[in-house]
Structure 1
Amino acid sequence: MPLGTAIHNIEITCGKGGQLARVASAVAKLIAKEGKSATLRLPSGEVRLVSQNCLATVGQVGNVGVNQKSLGRAGSKCWLGKHPVVRGVVMNPVDHPHGGGEGEAPISRKKPTTPWVILRLEEELGKGKKYNDSFILRRRK
């Protein structure tokens, strides 16, 4: 493929199937080729390396105007599977560990938890190095 080609449905691992740039109106650009790898600019703004043996589809994904369509009401969003997200702090103590208290009370625990009392702080869980980190040249903004 020549440089500057618009592509979508890109494989990250050869033979695994397309994983990148698959949503409506998504398009990635091929910006460089060197050795066995190609550099892509993804729709998120991320720049990453992919093997030149990986498959991709030339062109842009269809349904370009989907983001301009107004859903009209909250029920339409629910039909798509998007339900309201309620913070634990505004719940009652029986519903969430952060719930209860007078007014805008803090969570009254040392660390944030899930409703099933599993600790949820990124520092607690730790972020290890991932295999893909070496292939990402510039992170998304």
Structure 2
Amino acid sequence: MILVISVTALFAPASPAQAASPYGTKAVAVAASKKGAPYVYGATGPREFDCSGLTLYAFRKAGRPLPRTADAQYENTQHISRSQRTPGDLVFFPNGGTMGHVGIYAGQDKIWHAPKPGTRVRLERIWTDSVHYSRAN
């Protein structure tokens, strides 16, 4: 059996629905650079963060300002499906009627985030399917 693959198919650009945010790659790098920074409720950096403070800080450094809270970040970004996610997209964890947590998708089912009091910014596998994704275009 001979398999023929078009060179065009190998190097075709992603469709617009799957194209990463122009700010996403930079935001992932900024979040990664904050690995080990302590979680402090209400903190927005540069040395301490809460979850939405980290996303706000990373995207601001990447050139895309976001609102302060996870709820406001979700409402002010483009909602996408799991199949459309790319590194640099935002991952939201609902808690009742609000978004209780947010992180930055790093690829391979992992996020950069500031988890909770007593922890530090870290890369972690997404632990639930009950998440929402959005893109900060």
Mark yes or no: TM-score above 0.5.
no
Normalised by the length of structure 1, the TM-score is: 0.24
- Higher RCO, 1 vs 2 (CA within 8 Å, ≥6 residues apart): 2
Higher helix fraction (1 or 2)? 2
TM-score, scaled to structure 2: 0.24
Structure with higher Rg: it is: 1
